[in-house]
Chain A
Amino acid sequence: MIHFQNVTKNYENQTALRDISFSVDKGEMIFLTGPSGSGKSTLLKLIYLAEKADNGEITIADWELSRLKESSIPSVRRNIGIIFQDFRLLDNRTVFENIALALRIRGIGEKETKIRVYDALKTVNLRHKSDAYPKALSGGEQQRVVIARAIVSDPTILLADEPTGNLDPDTAQGVAKIFKDVHARGTTIIIATHNREMYRNTGKRVLQLDSGNLIGEGLG
């Protein structure tokens, strides 16, 4: 599903990722771990095309990203649900509208949008907050809205960048369960986290990054 072959990414004079190679199978769930600045976010950005690799080859499904036309970028992104580290919620729109945006971009009708958004809100336990604005929510609630926006469109791939960063242990556990449920539906998931509790005893693959290098791989 996702294939990295000798991928390198530099930022000016700094190497963010060096010669990274790995594969993720369809329907697999893996974790990326490592300290801050190890390259986890950059790796995810390469997948959702917010950044371009300087060297190497990245393949997502049938798309070879280095040969991808600019006009095809939206199509690739519409197959991916993203949980951004900085949330990227629109402050002037309600929770409902923020989540519905993912569906409106995909051209889904109003009736279906309503059903799916309320389903997603139910999944993240925020049904009662649908009319609230993001700034009126706690950090944990905002995090869950972002998760709902990422899963509402039933993406083939789900990318999560520190999805439990702002959550207390109990809510984090709840989020872990959401990922488990989404994974059970056959979604390929990559979660970047430095929260060991997220991957401990999951039996899933864990890729360890440090200073832009892939230094190890094991099972959680």
Chain B
Amino acid sequence: MIAPYALKLAVQSLLREKWINLLSVMTIAAGLLIISISFFALYNIDVATKKLPEKFSLTAYLDKNLQRDQLDSVVDAFRKKKTVLSVRYISKDEAMKELKSSLKNSDYILEGLEENPLPDSLEIKLKSNEVGAETVQQFAREAMKIKGVAEVNYGEKFLSTLETIKKGVKAVGMFFAVILSTGIVFVCYSTVKILFYRRSEEIETFKLLGATKGFIRTPFLIEGAVIGACGGLLSLLGCFFLYYTFLLRLSMTMPVFKAILFPSNLFLPLPVLGMLLGLAGAVIALGRLRY
């Protein structure tokens, strides 16, 4: 019986104090919108960095004078590894051809060479989820132990840059999420506290008539949750508005924007997030009731 009445009290208060509540809803919406925009940017950076490992490969240089059957066993040894996606044999002649084509007009620097100094090699691609600084280093160490492999080369700098970008993205995301979530909790805290003080006389009467803490608290918790949820809903609408009025139109005239992804399903829980933050603010604001 308490719940319907608490809901009625909450609705009455939300309507009675509509201006202060509207202001809180808009503040929360602005905060959640900034979080969403940051998350949207970070999501796209993350997707882009996830595509980079597809282009990553290791080169295993083979011993000179390696026989055909020995070569096959080296290739087999790599292919058997679970982390390997593909192995491509590059003969020294092929390597020279690739070098020449990459030098283009500067290939005259190779003219003085009497014989091809390049070794035969294997280009090894790893599965995307295996491309990390530590795992690749470990892979290179193990590859060196394979008989017939003279040297293993991989883009250490590329990998460490990738790691730094990923860590940076996470740190920035966490920073925005924590700071702004705290801000939202504080907004809800202040709103509920103000509403609580405004109704302190009424609450005192409730207490004297025998109301339990739950009876007194529930309407305020509902109010906090509703304010937070409305803020979340407004920020969700803001996200869709920004995407459909700006990014989508821009991508029609500037194809580079087509690469930007809009994870709409990830934004849908925004009202729930707002509600939880609102509830948290209300819980803190009410604190410990005393009789």
Q: Which residues of A contact B (CB under 8 A)?
A: 48-50, 70, 73-78, 80, 82, 84, 88, 90, 92, 101-102, 104-110, 149
Contacts and interface: CB of A to CB of B under 8 A. Distances in A.
Given A92-B16, A107-B1, A109-B1, A74 B212 contact: yes
Contacts of A49: 291
Given A74-B213, A105-B212, 7 more contacts: A73-B291, A74-B291, A75-B210, A76-B210, A101-B205, A106-B210, A149-B209
B271 to A, nearest CB: 30
Interface string B270-291: 0000000000000000000011
Contacts of A109: 1
**Which has the most chain A C-beta neighbours within 10 Å: B206, B209, B212, B291?**
B209
Contacts of B259: none
B2 interface: yes
Contacts of B197: none
A122 B46 CA distance: 71
Contact of A74 (B202, B205, B211): B211
Consensus secondary structure, chain B interface: helix
Contact of B209 (A75, A92, A102, A108): A102
B1 A104 contact: yes
A105 B206 contact: yes
Nearest to A105: B211
B210 to A, nearest CB: 4
B113 interface: no
Contacts of A82: 208-209
B208 A107 contact: no
Interface in B192-206: 202, 204-206
A70 B291 contact: yes
A92 B16 CA distance: 10
A75 B209 CA distance: 10
**Which has the most chain B C-beta neighbours within 10 Å: A49, A102, A106, A109?**
A106
Contact of B210 (A74, A84, A110): A74
Nearest to A48: B208
B215 interface: yes
A74 B209 CA distance: 8
A73 B213 CA distance: 10
Interface string B208-245: 11111101000000000000000000000000000000
A88 B209 CA distance: 10
A88 B205 contact: yes
**Which has the most chain B C-beta neighbours within 10 Å: A74, A78, A107?**
A74
Nearest to B290: A70
Nearest to A49: B291
A90 B205 contact: yes
A78 B210 contact: yes
